[in-house]
Amino acid sequence: MQKLHKLALYLAEDGMKLMLSVDELNGDENIRMARKGLVKSMNHILDRLEKLKTELNVPSLQNESS
């Protein structure tokens, strides 16, 4: 379970970094739509990671990253 916990933390951290990088992109409508889709997908993944951590009975991702 410790390995899963660490993996969840790494994935969440990398996901947040990716979303921050994508947020800086500017461009036409196609780029905005792609960015919006990516952010939606990343939010879904982060929600699933949070649920997994809850099921594993470990502290929240938000509590870990503070």
Confidence at residue 44, expressed as pLDDT on a 0 to 100 scale: 92
pLDDT digits (tens, 9 = 90+) for 3-60: 877 887 888 888 888 888 888 888 888 988 988 898 899 889 889 888 887 777 655 5
Confidence at residue 66, expressed as pLDDT on a 0 to 100 scale: 45
For the chain, the domains span 2-60
**Nearest residue to 65 via CA among 55, 53, 48:** 53
Quote the tokens at residue 11: 């994935």
> Model pTM?
0.63
Confidence at residue 46, expressed as pLDDT on a 0 to 100 scale: 86
**Nearest residue to 45 via CA among 61, 29, 33, 21:** 61
